[in-house]
Amino acid sequence: MEELRTLARHTGPHGELALRLRTGPDGEVHELVVDGAFAMDSRETASERRLAGLVAEHGALGRVLVGGLGLGYTATALLEAGAGRVEVVELEAALVRWAHEGVTPQLGALATHPRCRLHVDDVARWIATAEPGSLDAVVLDVDNGPDFLIHPGNAELYQTPRLAAALRLLRPGGVLVVWCQHRTPQLRERLSELGPTAEEVVPVEREGHRLEYALYTVRADPSGTAIVQP
On whether residue 21 sits in a domain, the answer given is: no
On whether residue 8 sits in a domain, the answer given is: no
On whether residue 78 sits in a domain, the answer given is: yes
On whether residue 39 sits in a domain, the answer given is: no
On whether residue 16 sits in a domain, the answer given is: no
On whether residue 202 sits in a domain, the answer given is: yes
Residue 63's CATH number: 3.40.50.150
pLDDT for the residue 67: 95
Range of the domain at 187: 44-220
pLDDT tens per residue, range 26-67 = 899 999 998 888 888 998 899 999 999 999 999 999 999 999
pLDDT tens per residue, range 194-210 = 999 999 999 988 777 78
Per-residue pLDDT band at 148 (split at 50, 70, 90)? low
Q: How far apart are CA 171 and CA 173, in angstroms?
A: 6
Does pLDDT of 115 surpass 90? yes
Which residues are bridge partners to 66 per DSSP?
A: 88, 139
Q: How far apart are CA 90 and CA 71, in angstroms?
A: 11
**DSSP 8-state secondary structure symbol assigned to residue 157:** G
On whether residue 36 sits in a domain, the answer given is: no
- Which pairs with CB-CB distance under 8 Å and at least 24 residues apart come from 16-23? 17/92, 17/94, 17/95, 19/95, 19/98, 19/103, 19/104
Q: What's the total number of domains in the chain?
A: 1
On whether residue 51 sits in a domain, the answer given is: yes
Q: How far apart are CA 221 and CA 227, in angstroms?
A: 8
Does pLDDT of 153 surpass 70? yes
Q: How far apart are the first and last CA of the chain?
A: 54
